[in-house]
Amino acid sequence: MTVVAEEILRTFDALPNVEQLEIALEILRRLANFDFPPLIDEDLVLNAEELFLALDQQEADDE
């Protein structure tokens, strides 16, 4: 990630929740027009695996 992108995120994090939500919604609106490549099964499996591992870790931490 570039220095500029990191600064944008730091600035975003410093904003009140209401403004963060407004900005997030505007970014999502803009992303809706992007031409994303289709997901392949391998990407979906890797993402699912990461999610399940994170959930397993959270469960272990809660015990």
The structural domains of the chain, with segments of one domain joined by +, span: 3-62
Q: Is the pLDDT of residue 9 over 90?
A: yes
Give the CA-trace dihedral at 9, 15, 21, 27, to 10 degrees: -40
Angstrom distance (rounded) from CA 25 to CA 31: 10
- Tell the residue number behind the tokens 């803009």, with chain if given: 30
Model confidence at 39, pLDDT cuts 50, 70, 90, reads confident
pLDDT of residue 33: 86
Total-model pTM:
0.55
